[in-house]
Amino acid sequence: MQTKRMTFSSRWLPYALLAPQVLITVVFFIWPASQALWQSMLRQDAFGLRTTFVWFRNFERLFDNPLYLASMKTTAIFAISTTLLAMSLSLLFAVMVNRMLRSREWYTTFLVWPYAVAPAIAGVLWWFMFNTSVGIVPYMLEGFGYDWNHRLDGNDAMILVVLAAAWKQISYNFLFFLAGLQSIPQSLLEAAAIDGAGRTKRFWTIVFPLLSPTTFFLMVVNVVYAMFDTFGVIHATTEGGPAQATNILVYNVFRDGFVNGNLGASAAQSVVLMGIVVVLTVVQFRFIERRVNY
């Protein structure tokens, strides 16, 4: 491999140029992360006056806590459903928009808009729509004989947060799927048409396999999003309830640390989450480097 070597007039210039990025990484990543690591091994008394170093006790307690293990399960269900829903809907939209000729740009613009909405605002939007007393959706569902109440029913609450979280991610997925679809040479589809494959068959035997690198990339991004980036959505809609039904790991970190004031446990949970991110990232890079199919 050929490496480009730049020559700088001053010895310090390259370091100065790198400094802002290094500084940001240190201040916003390395430092908090190391703090979390350190704090995860501390225990504070209720008034914050005394801290003791407890080694891995926080972790031990965490994995002995049935509520935390339940939260892991909740997170898995939430992440998988959100990813599946967000990806299948956005693929559907992308395929449909890709078929359009004239109005394609309009639809693309509109479908991307949700991405610009702040998570908390989106959460409030969903909160209003699904509000058990004034919301439009429960009112309509009642017409079908379904009694919607996400404040009492854990399943309803889960459906609500999955919907809200997926809605947010559809725009992003849509853009990638659309780009992926457009990079499939038209002649391949024509060849398949001549080879006697109908529309549906063409999609599943040609388009879908050729999209697989995009699909895989999005899957990783979506799982990461659902697990770590949905705090705002949960906070604005269900606040983890009812009875912990939507209490995903990230939300639990917030609750234990800032509501319950147990910083040590909260930090330990952050460290566990960090571990999960590392695993997911490694998996992603392994696959992307090998390319998924062709």
Where helices occur in 229-262 by DSSP H, the ranges are 231-237, 249-254
Q: What is the C-alpha to C-alpha distance for residues 50 and 147, in angstroms, rounded to an integer?
A: 50
Question: 245-264 mask for other proteins (x: CB under 8 A)?
Answer: --------------------
Q: Which is nearer to other proteins, 92 or 191 (CB)?
A: 191
- Residue by residue, DSSP assigns 141-208 as HHHTT----TTT-HHHHHHHHHHHHHHHHHHHHHHHHHHHHHTS-HHHHHHHHHTT--HHHHIIIIIH
Number of residues that bind other proteins (CB under 8 A): 20
Q: Which is nearer to other proteins, 179 or 291 (CB)?
A: 291
Smallest distance from the beta carbon of 99 to other proteins, in angstroms?
16
Residue 12 main-chain phi, psi, to 5 deg:
-90, -15
Question: 218-247 mask for other proteins (x: CB under 8 A)?
Answer: ------------------------------
Residues 6+ away with beta carbon under 8 Å from 166: 81, 82, 85, 86, 89
Site for other proteins in 263-282 (CB under 8 A): none
Determine how many CB atoms are found less than 10 A away from the CB of residue 194: 8
Give the distance from CA 264 to its chain's centroid: 25
Site for other proteins in 112-151 (CB under 8 A): none
Determine how many CB atoms are found less than 10 A away from the CB of residue 43: 17
Site for other proteins in 33-62 (CB under 8 A): none
Q: Cβ(58)–Cβ(40) under 8 Å?
A: yes
Smallest distance from the beta carbon of 192 to other proteins, in angstroms?
7
Q: Which is nearer to other proteins, 97 or 192 (CB)?
A: 192
Smallest distance from the beta carbon of 122 to other proteins, in angstroms?
37
Site for other proteins in 180-219 (CB under 8 A): 185, 187-188, 190-198, 201, 205-206, 209-210, 212
Q: Which is nearer to other proteins, 60 or 195 (CB)?
A: 195
Q: Which is nearer to other proteins, 94 or 206 (CB)?
A: 206
Q: What is the C-alpha to C-alpha distance for residues 213 and 219, in angstroms, rounded to an integer?
A: 10
β partners of residue 217:
none
Question: 146-185 mask for other proteins (x: CB under 8 A)?
Answer: ---------------------------------------x
Q: Which is nearer to other proteins, 105 or 190 (CB)?
A: 190
Angle between helices 66-99 and 208-228 (to 10 degrees): 140
Name the site residues for other proteins (rule: CB under 8 A). Answer: 185, 187-188, 190-198, 201, 205-206, 209-210, 212, 293-294
